[in-house]
Amino acid sequence: MTTLDAAPGSTRTEAGAQGPARPSRMKAAGFDRPIAPPLPDLTPAQELALLARCLYSEGFDDHLAGHITYRQDDGTFLVNPYGLTWDELRASDVARMDADGRQLEGTWPVTPAITLHVELHRARHDVRVAVHNHCRWSTLWADIGRAPEIFDQTGALYHGDVAVYKEYWGPVDDTANARAAVEAMGTANVALLANHGVVVLGNDVEQAYLRAASFEWRCRQAWLIAAVGGGRPMNPEAAASYGDFFNTHNFTGMFQAMARRELRRDPSILD
């Protein structure tokens, strides 16, 4: 559909003469050569540090709040420590804990609020990476108590369920609170915790980044569009066709490009 100029308060649309009647099927990008300089081979700790830096640039920057867990093949978890902001985290700062949240390695302490992640990983064995923060735009919608609509393709990069946990009774370092939040999430891979923040889950670091960044974008766009009086959400079928593809495919080159940007700013991330 093509939107034409219209008088204030009205909208006129007409079908494009050559436009498809149905959303085009998404397919994986294919290239006959490298699309950019590759990242070096990364350790899991380096991956986590880069994820924290990239998400900080996307607005995951509420002071000392927020935690990332990254499940390893041996059943332990890498985690960013308490006390370091996400824009200063380096690979050597990353801590390791067991499945019960007991710290096994690391110079700096694991946050007491890790209880949320402990309970989440116990319930969701499909999740390798879990991200929690109080980022600006997602938290606005957590405060409102509902998920925003999708208005564009970037916002549609995550099209799965968004759980809304409305019974927030206090900090998620309380086991009962953490379990209740996890139960409310069900099988969703994004959750808004009322009056608190957002949780984003992924199968790997790339997927967690894509979901977290695109959902924060979606929340920002919806708020700004509402501020100017509203707009027309993306066609639901088109949003589903586009977004569902990225539930099983990573966005080719996106995390790598953002990681290179962070490494240009601070090569010591990998130290």
Compute CA distances 19 → 11, 15, 235, 237, whole Å. 19, 7, 14, 15
DSSP assignment letter at 9? T
Tens-digit pLDDT profile for residues 192-248: 999 999 999 999 999 999 999 999 999 999 999 999 999 999 999 999 888 888 788
Work out how many domains the chain is built from and give that number: 1
Q: Which long-range contacts (CB under 8 A, 24 or more apart) does 266-270 make?
A: 266/53, 268/90, 269/46, 269/49, 269/50, 269/53, 269/89, 269/90, 269/91, 270/40, 270/42, 270/46, 270/49, 270/50, 270/90, 270/91
For residue 87, the tally of other CB atoms under 10 A from its CB is 16
User: Which residues form the domain of 79?
Assistant: 38-270
The count of C-alpha atoms lying within 13 angstroms of the C-alpha of 51, restricted to the half-sphere facing its C-beta, is: 33
Query: Residue 29 domain-assigned?
Result: no
Question: pLDDT over 70 for what percent of the chain?
Answer: 88
Plot region of 198 (φ>0 → left; ψ -120 to 50 → alpha; else → beta): beta
Least confident of 1-5, 91-95, 121-125: 1-5
| pLDDT of 8 strictly over 60 | no
Residue 188 covered by a domain: yes
Q: Is it the case that residue 121 has pLDDT exceeding 90?
A: yes
pLDDT tens readout for residues 71-99: 999 999 999 999 999 999 999 999 999 99
Residue 12 lies in a domain: no
Predicted pLDDT of residue 177: 86
Integer-rounded Cα Rg, in Å, for the chain is: 20
- Tokens linked to 19: 């436009």
Question: The domain spanning residue 78 has which CATH number?
Answer: 3.40.225.10
pLDDT tens sequence across 152-195: 999 999 999 999 998 766 666 788 888 999 999 999 999 999 99
pTM of the model: 0.88
pLDDT of residue 3: 29
